[in-house]
Structure 1
Amino acid sequence: MRNFPPRRAGWHRLSAALLLCSVMVPVSATWADDDPESLDIMERQMERIQQQQMELQRDLTMMRKQIAQHRAHAGTGTGTGEHSLQVSGSAGHVRGGWTPHEGHITAMGERTPPGMGAPHIGGHSDNPNGSFLDTPTFESVVAHRDEDLISHMANNNVGPHTRETVGAQSAGALGSKVFHAGAVSIILGGFFDAAALEENRHVASGIFNSWANIPFRNSSNFHTDNFNGDARYTRFSLMARAPLGTHVTVAGFVESDFGASAETTNPYESNSYVPRLRQAYLTLDDAKTNWHFLIGQAWTMLTPDRVGIIPRQESLPETIESSILAGQTWTRQWQVRLVKDFLEHRLWAGLSIENPATIYDTTGFSAYSDNGEYALPGSGNYAKVGSNGVGLTGSSTNYSNEIAPDIIAKIAGDPSWGHYEMEGIVHFPHDRSVIGGEGQNHTAIAWGGGGSMILPVIPHTLEIRLAGLAGKGIGRYGSVLLPDATLKANGAPDLLSSAQATAGVIAHPNRLVDVYGYFGMQRSGRGYFDSDGTAYGYGNPLSDNSGCWTEGSSACTASIKSVEEFTIGAWYRFIKGKYGTVQAGTQLAYSRVHTWGGIGGAPTTSMSEIFFDFRYLPFQ
């Protein structure tokens, strides 16, 4: 009888790969006892294992043909000696009772010839002679490790998010149910929201905290309390995800709410606020090479994360206010992001090209036109910093001139205790000036650097979050939206220094209650010049602040130096079951605004608020 080519117990390895499929779901079930989010992971694993079973079935059919060919060549035939192996069940169990024995495998009580190699998972042969390579791996069995599973594998005693928390909802958490449309998995997320606040100043911004518009004493709004209720932050999200092969997965995510306002919107009758696009992006993840690609509108990569550099795992406060927290680093904007992880998902490096924008302060510069042009010293001189929107953009919004995208780099680490990040940004403010009839373009180089950390004092129960960013010309990356630049005498951008920081303590005393306290701060530098008796620029000591203390006075041009916020709050999930979660929260916040000194002094102002919120999370 002809001997089979030696394969060093390849069947033993195939058996191990199949048995791994059979134990994946029971292992995941132990996670479910500790983390509801694991239910989602289990379902996704089961889906992938089912797909893998189909590939294994094809491979096994090919192996049976090869065995038949060998036996026919040896004169033994294929009759009753052919193996019978079936893979079935969503848990990936193998029928036939595989047992390793000195390089041989018995299936259905039959002993196979020694040395048969295991098939290469994926349904193709890498051996030119037609036999299969015996190299099944963990990745080839579970097919793809999505962001949730990666979070578990790189457990840093911080995350991933428990999807019911408000921080997770802010980042874009999805539900625990997975629907299928062929090979595409559909996952829903979002919540129904009803929020309200009472504040001791009238800032007509709803539950969005507009710190730069907190009134001084010269405004009657400083002396007027205000109540506002809002359901506009009701949110809906959807992800469609599908495998593109053994290791690569493609996904599309979209998230929307009603937190925008069209020019025709009014609060008097229909309250018909327009839908707002929060996030919409495509991702490609390769579990074999550990490369991760994202393109579309998402949270900027500067936003602190909880684990790795993973979409929807951003570390955001548990606050009710939709502006999040003074000093928080964030934007949501178009970007192209490429991330690589190393050391079993413990070390991450990312580079992102993101949509730019520049906030200019034009204090002292009169409008030369109504289309982003401001008068400079001298007759007929002006600087053009942007243009009003046309077509599908807002006609009342001035869009800044930009010459290049923002460039952001980040390194993140997830040891066994805590999450740590370092990041940097380069931004290129750009404008044009016309002086004496001669036009000239100007480009400045803005920059910044920072970092963040999450310290799990009591893992999954009590954590401390710290984050900060500092540089020049990057004020818009903070919640307060302090300016990036003002203008020089020649019309070129004059970059303003910027710093922002947050610190928080978050406790989860049990699965139903979250308690938090935060401090946030954002600060801006100043840039100015004087010409012909006129004070130009941000924080100019010759600015007229003399009327800031007198109600009805217009002599108050104070420039903000810093904003601070202290806040505490709690959430209680009083209904939690198979039909979702209902939770209620309350928050107390105190904000204080400091200004740069001018003629008449440096006025300050403050605002106290109490927020209430009620949410139904149907998918969590």
Structure 2
Amino acid sequence: MLNVASPAQAQSASEQRMEARLDALMNEVAELKQEMRAQKRQTQHVLAHVRMAETAPVLAGPVVKGPGPYVPPQPWDKKFHLFGITLTPGGFIEAAGVWRSRGDSTGLDTNWNGIPMGNLPLSHTNELRFDARQSRFSLLAQGNVNPALLISGYSEFDFLAAAGTANQTDSNSYTPRVRNLYVTADWMDTGWSLLAGQSWTLATTNGEGIKPRTEIFAPFIDANFIPGSVWARQPGVRVTKTFGEFTAAVSAEQPETTFAPACPGIGTYGSIGNGVSVYCQQAGTHFFNGATNYSLNRIPDILAKVAWDPRIADRNMHFEAFGLYSDLYDRVEYAGNNFASKDTTGWGVGGSVIVPILPKWLDFQANAMTGRGIGRYGVSTLPTATFNPDGSLSPIPETIALAFLTLHATPQIDLWAAAGIEHEYGDYFLGGTVNGPGSPLANNTGCNIETAAASTCNGITKDIWQLTGGVWDRVYQGDFGSLRVGLQYSYTQRELFAGSGGLPAGSAPLGAKTNDNILLTSLRYYPFQ
């Protein structure tokens, strides 16, 4: 007998099936919620690690030998990121050599004001040196405190220094040297910037506005630049403001004074004749170099500069003008135990220009500076001061100038040529025991006579000029840095002020000059460029 379910029974079975499906769906939803919670925790964990290493270097994997062409490992972005701070390494490793027609007893840094006269044995000897100490390394640390404020710290070192144990015989024992070590704060929304620490002087030419690390020089190899370059690296504080194409800055920088003739009062009073004695230098103590004499200073060098970066036709150009105020300071003793401190004002004005004569092909750059007491801002470090009859310091007049061209002959090869000069003008008084620049009492009679005891040659350098040029070849430029080979030749002439010293009455003043031919080579590897 066939049993047929009643409508009530069929409805009950259908409801049971729906409840079973609903229970299953609820279980699936609960499981999905648990999985989503676990996935969210995992995602947050991964994102936290991603933020800590946003662009961390992709480490190169092992090289696997096998069939097919060699595929090099992928390089990283050459920056490190650590909790919001970006670290950018820089610098190069160099193997360099120098040959000079006259001995200088230096490495790659030619002593322009020490090119020997004919009375010295070095003037009659050649000189060959190999050197790796111009190699340098740098590190830039940057952090955005907020979208408008960027704080940076920059350090740069090389090895062009010598400790007390340095030598060329066994372990060398040369020491690292501070080039730049400063902090900057940039308020991008207002155009204001602050720099504090050791950096290039404000008088150095910038390539863009007055921004740190945009300083522009001729592509020389000689570690002592080219005569006519305007520069210094010294501690100071600088404030900068940008106004569109214009930038203005003012700085207070470390002062220092050098003397011609040498200061007779070092650590005590020394006579300049005329019944006057001066005290103007003191040997270094504590953390200063005990083998160096430091001048008396009480007011920083004050510099101000304006830069203009216009685009004229299809050329981006750069122009600068700057001024310098310095205070020259010493202590004077007069007859009868009378003492006084003396201040004299030094000053300088200058500027520079960068013009692409043929964009991407031929660039022109020039700088110049003139004033009184500016000798140490030139690479020849000619003296900044001599003495007045009353014992006060007299800033020596000087003009510094340099111009150079760079031809980008190919994407790999640059050819360049430069001419520079540093010229001082006479500044002396008669009747004392000091012979300042240009004094007719300077005895130059032996400047060109070599003797075992070195003949008398007392003249002070009047000018140093140089013609130079060279080539740089980027042998390799790619993801793994840049390998460059350079060659430089220079001809330099050093001339003294004329003197008389012992010449017969009525004879013309006797001057003296010397010259040096220098050939330099360089192989540099820039791993971070």
Residue 258 of structure 2 corresponds to residue 349 of structure 1: no
Deviation at 1:382, TM superposition (A): 2.2
The answer as to 2:446 corresponding to 1:547 is: yes
What's 1:45 paired with? none
CA contact (8 A) 1:371 1:398 kept: no
1:306-341 deviation per Cα after TM superposition (whole angstroms, max 9, x unaligned):
111011111111000011110100000111111111
Counterparts of 2:272 and 2:474, CA distance in 1: 57
Aligned identity (percent) is 32
* Counterpart residue number, 2:305: 410
**Which amino acid in the other structure matches residue 440 of structure 2?**
P
**Does the 8 Å contact 2:134/2:158 carry over to 1?**
yes
| Match among 380, 384, 408 for residue 279 of structure 2 | 384
The aligned residue for residue 613 of structure 1 is 522
1:420 is matched with: 319
1:447-596 matched pairs, under 5 angstroms = 447-531=347-431, 534=433, 536-552=435-451, 553-596=454-497
How has the CA–CA distance of structure 1 residues 263 and 487 changed in structure 2, closer, same or farther, with 3 Å as cutoff?
farther
Contact 1:262 1:273 in 2 (8 A): yes
Q: Which runs of 5+ in 2 are unaligned?
A: 1-46, 48-75, 504-509
Q: Are 2:145 and 1:244 equivalent residues in the alignment?
A: yes
For residues 77 and 324 of structure 2, the distance between their equivalents in structure 1, rounded to whole angstroms, comes to 35
Letter in 1 for 2:290: S
**Displaced runs of 4+ in structure 1, greater than 4 A?**
none
Helix, strand or coil for the counterpart of 1:610? strand
In structure 2, distance between residues paired with 1:460 and 1:316: 17
The aligned runs of 1:228-307 (5 Å cut-off) are 228-307=129-208
3-state DSSP of counterpart to 2:122: helix
Q: For the Cα contact (< 8 Å) 1:372–1:388, is it kept in 2? A: no
**How far apart, CA to CA, are the structure 1 residues paired with 2:115 and 2:248?**
39
Distance in 1 (alpha carbons) for counterparts of 2:128 and 2:412: 29
- 1:371 aligned residue (267, 274, 281): 267
Q: Return the index of the structure with the highest Cα Rg.
A: 2
SS state of the match for residue 102, structure 2? coil
- Residue 441 of structure 1 is matched in structure 2 by 341
Matched residue, 2:15: none
TM-superposed deviation, 1:378:
5.4
What's the CA shift string for 1:424-466, capped at 9, x where partnerless? Answer: 0000011111122221101111001011101101123211111
* Aligned residues of 2:272 and 2:434 also touching (Cα < 8 A): no
Distance 1:402 1:286 in 2: 33
| Counterpart secondary structure, 2:409 | strand
Task: Report the counterpart of residue 33 of structure 2 in structure 1.
Answer: none
Q: Note if 1:430 corresponds to 2:329.
A: yes
- Is the Cα contact below 8 Å between 1:503 and 1:519 reproduced in 2? yes
Between the aligned partners of 1:594 and 1:387, the Cα distance in structure 2 is 30
Partner of 2:51: none
Asked if the contact 2:220/2:226 (under 8 Å) is kept, the reply is yes
| Mapped partners of 2:213, 2:225: distance in 1 | 16
For 1:204 and 1:460, how far apart are their aligned partners in 2? Answer: 40
> Contact (CA 8 Å) 1:197, 1:227: kept in 2 or not?
yes
- SS of 1:222's equivalent? helix
- Structure 2 Cα separation of the partners of residues 493 and 550 of structure 1: 33
- Is 1:204–2:105 an aligned residue pair? yes
CA offset digits 1:324-383 (Å, max 9, x no partner): 11010000011111111112xx111111111111111125x7x45x5375322156x521
Number of aligned residue pairs: give it.
442
Closer, same or farther: CA 347–535 of 1 in aligned 2, 3 Å: closer
Query: What secondary structure sits across from 1:404 in the alignment?
Result: coil
Report the residue type matching 1:612 in the other structure: T
Hey, what's the Cα distance between the residues in 2 that align with 1:360 and 1:536?
Answer: 11
Query: TM-score scaled to structure 2, two decimals?
Result: 0.81
Q: Secondary structure at the match of 1:177?
A: coil
d(CA) in 2 for partners of 1:506, 1:374: 50
Tell me how far apart the structure 1 counterparts of residues 268 and 176 of structure 2 sit (CA, whole Å).
27
Q: Is the 8 A contact 2:163 2:173 kept in 1?
A: no
**Unaligned 5+ residue runs, structure 1?**
1-89, 91-174
Q: For the residues of structure 2 that align with 1:610 and 1:371, how far apart are their CA atoms?
A: 41
Q: What's the CA shift for 1:399?
A: 0.8
Contact (CA 8 Å) 1:518, 1:567: kept in 2 or not?
A: yes
Shift in alpha-carbon separation, 1:372–1:574, aligned structure 2, 3 A? farther
Aligned to 1:331: 232
8 Å Cα contact 1:535/1:542 also seen in 2: no
Amino acid across the alignment from 1:383 = V
Deviation for aligned residue 1:514: 1.4
Structure 2 distance, partners of 1:456, 1:279, is 29
Q: CA deviation at 1:536?
A: 2.5
Letter in 1 for 2:273: P
8 A contact 1:539–1:560 mirrored in 2: no
The residue aligned with 2:26 is none
Q: Aligned-pair RMSD on alpha carbons?
A: 1.9
Distance 1:373 1:208, change over 3 A: farther
Task: Determine the C-alpha separation between the residues in 2 that align with 1:248 and 1:421.
Answer: 26
CA change 1:554–1:433 in 2 (3 A) is farther
